[in-house]
Amino acid sequence: MKLDKIYALSLRHVYLICSSLPRIIDLIYWPTVQIFLWGFISKFFTLNSSFYSDTIGVILTAAILYDFLFRASISYNMMFLEEIWSRNFTNLFIAPIKLSEIIAALTLTAIFRTLIGLIPASILAIPFFGVSIFKLGIPLLFLLTSLYIFGVTLGLLVTSGLLRYGPSFENIAWASLFFLAPLGCIYYPVEILPMSLQVIAKLLPLVHIFEEMRNILLTGSVNLVELVKSISISLIYFIVGIIIFYTSYSGAKDKGTLINMGE
Amino acid sequence: MFIQVKNLTKSFKDTFAVNNINFEIKESNTVGLLGPNGCGKTTSIGMMLGLIRPTKGQIIIGNEDLETADREKILSQINFASPYIELPKKLTVRQNLEIYGRLYSVQSLKDKILQLAEDLDLKQLLNRKNGELSSGQKNRVSLAKSLINSPKILFLDEPTASLDPDTGDYIRNYILTYKKKNKVTILLASHNMSEVEKLCDSIIMMKNGKIVDRGTCKEIIKKHGRDNLEDTFLKLARSKNET
């Protein structure tokens, strides 16, 4: 992998974001709306039920972390879709770049887009709802890393579909995260799920991430095993995602979808 | 740098898009790839660009087999322009050329961009977004992108399609001038027969995925007893027994 090529590929997306104020507002707008929505819901529960009295921070922190995952995945998909929408796809794939450089550039640039949305929302949650995700301390870095790897993995899987099946796969891009959300146990403990679904849910890193987040916030203790487990599972999915991406590229070459792919 | 295509075939399920074609383009030659819509031109170019995997056959580019060679090494020496693919609309012309220059590891990139802007009359457009340009301006930018790496092999797919006669003529003259100054091998797919006659050293006629004729324009016109390439094209395209 050559760093200058990864830089060039990333630069294209940085130029795109920086050249458009509506794009920046769009990146900030949705996470902020999400935070306010969940903030008010949590406040309502707190005021009306003693059961929820200690958990406003838990729900809102979960909402922020879930949004981080969502933005990471959507950012990855969006950057790939931008190439299709702008009919730049062929130009990109005839340039002397490796697939690994494309993956690396998308992965690195997705964090830029994600943080533009996450940072303002996380800061706003402090004065408005008295909730700070930074209360999670150092483990927050591990949780965010795990979420980011998994978010990018979902992005990789969707882009693999786009490569193989073309723009018609676009709708899956938007639906991918909603499909996994119920199994991710973002807002509720894994025990809520039926036993059969618990088995499946535990194969996802999300359960380990959000269970550990609740553990830290409610008990103040950190379970390192859960943190390592969540990152390890995310990494396994990431590797699988890369293999699927390469396989899809090969399939796209057979099918001829790499040429003239556009709107 | 030359191109050699041997027994090249591409089938999609039961349909042959390209059926066992063979040709060679000598270094610094310009060859026109002609044929009616759906005859396999784009698929052939796609295979030569490494975007489509052949079902059978071989593509040799400068002594190296495209399938087994170092992909990056070969792609760094070729480029492609087509009005059917575009550069990102929201980026300025300068940003687009900068990004592709970096992807092709172009040395002295700023100078190269300025030189191309000068040659293709893009100086006033460098800071404008690609999406704001007219078709003719976009074509010139697309051509500039395809020349950013000073390619040894250039694939041009209908470079003057949908352009007014003046802009079309400008592009054709530029390609001619560029060809004289640089050692570049060009494969040109076009439906504009006067353009083909003006730019190409020889032509390859395709129909239903096969090559139905080849030679210089004069040879082919004479062989089919017509007055010009347009009539010859129509004769070949409408004939039922050529494939």
- Tell me: the pLDDT tens digits for B79-88? 999 988 889 9
List chain A residues with CB under 8 Å of B48: none
- List pLDDT tens digits, range A39-93: 888 888 777 776 655 667 888 899 999 999 988 988 888 888 888 888 888 899 9
Would you state the pLDDT for residue B239?
81
Would you state the pLDDT for residue B243?
44
Backbone angles phi, psi at B151, to 5 degrees: -65, 150
Q: Which residues pair with B185 in a beta bridge?
A: B153
- List pLDDT tens digits, range B194-221: 899 999 999 999 999 999 999 999 999 9
User: And the tokens for A212?
Assistant: 């550990």
User: And the tokens for B160?
Assistant: 């003057």
Global ipTM: 0.89
Q: A139: burial class by Cβ within 10 Å (0-12, 13-18, 19+)? A: middle
- Name the residue among B10, B84, B99 with its Cβ closest to that of A8: B99
Angle in degrees, 0-180, between the axes of helices A56-85 and A99-129, rounded to the nearest 10: 140
Backbone angles phi, psi at A14, to 5 degrees: -65, -45
Would you state the pLDDT for residue B152?
94
Q: Which residues pair with B5 in a beta bridge?
A: B23, B59
Backbone angles phi, psi at B139, to 5 degrees: -60, -40
Would you state the pLDDT for residue B165?
87
Strands B185-189 and B153-157: what pairing?
Answer: parallel
Minimum distance, in Å, between the CA of residue A19 and any CA atom of chain B = 8
CA–CA separation, A183 vs A178, rounded Å?
A: 10
Q: Span B3-77+151-238: which CATH code? A: 3.40.50.300
B152/A contact by beta carbon, under 8 A = no
A99/B contact by beta carbon, under 8 A = no
Q: Is the pLDDT of residue A114 over 70?
A: yes
**Residue with the two structure tokens 């070459």:** A253
Question: If you compute the radius of gyration of chain B from its CA atoms, what whole number of angstroms results?
Answer: 18
Comparing C-alpha atoms, which of A114, A97, A196, A197 is closest to residue A155?
A: A114
Contact A256 B82 (CB under 8 A): no
Contact B91 A12 (CB under 8 A): yes
- Name the residue among A9, A96, A255 with its Cβ closest to that of B72: A96
Q: Is the pLDDT of residue A167 over 80?
A: no
Q: Is the pLDDT of residue B143 over 60?
A: yes
Would you state the pLDDT for residue A42?
82
A100/B contact by beta carbon, under 8 A = no
CB atoms within 10 A of CB A105: 22
User: And the tokens for B145?
Assistant: 């992108």
Backbone angles phi, psi at A189, to 5 degrees: -70, 155
Minimum distance, in Å, between the CA of residue A62 and any CA atom of chain B = 35
A53/B contact by beta carbon, under 8 A = no
Where does B34-130 have alpha helices with state H?
Answer: 41-48, 71-75, 93-103, 109-119
Question: What mean pLDDT is predicted for residues B124-150?
Answer: 93
CA–CA separation, A226 vs B190, rounded Å?
A: 61
A22/B contact by beta carbon, under 8 A = no
Would you state the pLDDT for residue A225?
94
Contact A261, A84 (CB under 8 A): yes
Q: Is the pLDDT of residue A262 over 60?
A: no
List chain B residues with CB under 8 Å of A87: 84-86
Domain ranges of chain B: 3-77+151-238, 85-149
CA–CA separation, B38 vs B243, rounded Å?
A: 14
Question: What mean pLDDT is predicted for residues B151-163?
Answer: 89
CA–CA separation, B186 vs B155, rounded Å?
A: 6
